[in-house]
Structures are given as structure tokens and as C-alpha cells.
């Protein structure tokens, strides 16, 4: 099992339904391309790992990373499987671009959330996260 993943903020998405709609609109031939300016130094370790999406200070879903492809404009495509897999909401501060996520820290699809944090309304959770309380 891959031990390295990426996290990325789903800018403009309010919830899982909005992220699902965005992914569905960008799907083609069973793949989704996520554009980035920077090339990950650890690209080889990421293939087969997952791209975890952050919405409202929580990791809420992931997609399998299939490969990386250079673009003519100098940027890079992170090519992922189109299947978006929900994961138990896990606290994660927002950031720009992407960040590495070690395998032990990554929530797995099908895991359960025993903390109850996933049940908090997104506005309340966002305020608590802004205060570094979750």
C-alpha cells in the first residue's frame, strides 16, 4: 500500500456534494486532471497513493493518483481516477497548493469517525479550526 499521499484544498466547494459535482464536470475517460504549477519531488512515491480533498478545514474525500503528465504550458497534471471516495472528516488546516500526507496520517475510505467531529456543522467546525481547537 502506498505510504505517501497529497492534500489539496477544494477552493470554492462548500461540501462533499459540491466537490462531487466539480469532479463529475471534469471527468473524461475515467480520469480527472488536477493542474499544479509545482512538480512534486517525490512523484514516484505518490503514484498509487491518493489525492485527499480539504473542504472547510476537513479532509472529506480522496481519489487515487494514477500518474503525472507535463503540460505544454509548463505546468503539471495530477491525473487521478474519477472515483471520489468519501472518508471520515479529519481536521486539516487549509493551505495553498498541495502538501504531502504520510500514509499513517491518512484517513481511509470506509473508516469510521469515533471522535464525533464529523458531525459538527461546517460553520462551527470552521470556527473551531480557526481558533486551533480542533
pTM, rounded to two decimals: 0.82
Is residue 98 classed as helix, strand or coil in its secondary structure? strand
Confidence of residue 118 (pLDDT cuts 50, 70, 90): low
pLDDT digits (tens, 9 = 90+) for 44-86: 999 999 999 999 888 999 999 999 999 999 999 999 999 999 9
Grade residue 117 by pLDDT with cuts at 50, 70 and 90: low
Cβ neighbourhood burial of 2 (10 Å; 0-12, 13-18, 19+): middle
Amino acid at each position: 500500500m502506498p505510504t505517501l499521499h497529497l492534500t489539496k484544498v477544494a477552493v470554492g466547494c462548500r461540501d462533499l456534494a459540491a466537490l462531487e459535482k466539480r469532479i463529475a464536470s471534469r471527468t473524461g475517460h475515467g480520469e480527472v486532471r488536477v493542474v499544479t504549477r509545482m512538480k512534486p519531488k517525490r512523484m514516484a512515491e505518490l503514484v498509487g497513493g491518493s489525492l485527499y480533498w480539504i473542504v472547510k478545514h476537513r479532509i472529506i474525500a480522496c481519489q487515487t493518483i494514477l500518474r503525472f503528465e507535463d503540460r505544454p504550458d509548463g505546468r503539471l497534471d495530477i491525473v487521478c481516477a474519477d472515483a471520489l471516495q468519501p472518508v471520515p472528516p479529519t481536521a486539516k488546516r487549509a493551505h495553498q497548493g498541495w502538501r504531502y500526507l504520510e500514509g499513517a496520517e491518512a484517513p481511509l475510505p470506509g473508516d469510521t469517525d469515533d471522535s464525533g467531529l464529523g458531525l459538527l456543522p461546517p460553520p462551527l467546525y470552521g470556527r473551531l479550526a480557526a481558533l486551533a481547537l480542533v
